[in-house]
Amino acid sequence: MDGKYVLCNWKDQLWPAKVLDRSESPSESKRKNTSSLEVEILSLDEKITVESTDTKVLSKSAVEAIMSSLAVQSEVIIAPREETAYERSLKMALEMVKEGTNLSQESMS
């Protein structure tokens, strides 16, 4: 995955996203540059800009943790419901992470 995909804060949730562009701008403190990322939310055509400090590395364990917390929340709702865009996006990210892991294991053997 080498940093091309991240989890970023959007709409008060951590969404999986593909990094499209990185930019650095000097901050008020001359020692530190702030880095922003232009990302595209997976499974949506939504492009946003986020601060790099508002992102996390996309990993299998992080996506699974989010999905399990969603599963616990949905158990409270008894009626069947449609899969949300957020859930679709997370499933897509999980599949990508699993494929990336499988590819790395194959290349090592």
Partners of 50 in beta bridges: 37
CA dihedral 72, 54, 57, 89 (to 10 degrees): 50
Nearest to 87 by CA among 29, 19, 15, 12: 15
For residue 104, what are its two tokens? 């790395």
Alpha helices (runs of H) in the chain, residue ranges in sequence order: 60-76, 85-108
Indicate the helix (H) or strand (E) that contains 5: strand 5-10
pLDDT for 30: 52
If you ran DSSP here, which 8-state letter would residue 40 be given? E
Domain spans, the chain: 1-25+36-108
Q: pLDDT per position in the chain (109 positions), as tens?
A: 445 999 999 999 999 999 999 887 665 555 566 789 999 999 898 999 999 888 999 999 999 999 998 877 766 655 566 778 999 999 999 999 988 765 555 555 4
Fold observed for domain 1-25+36-108: SH3 type barrels. (2.30.30)
| C-alpha to C-alpha distance for 93 and 58, rounded to whole angstroms | 8
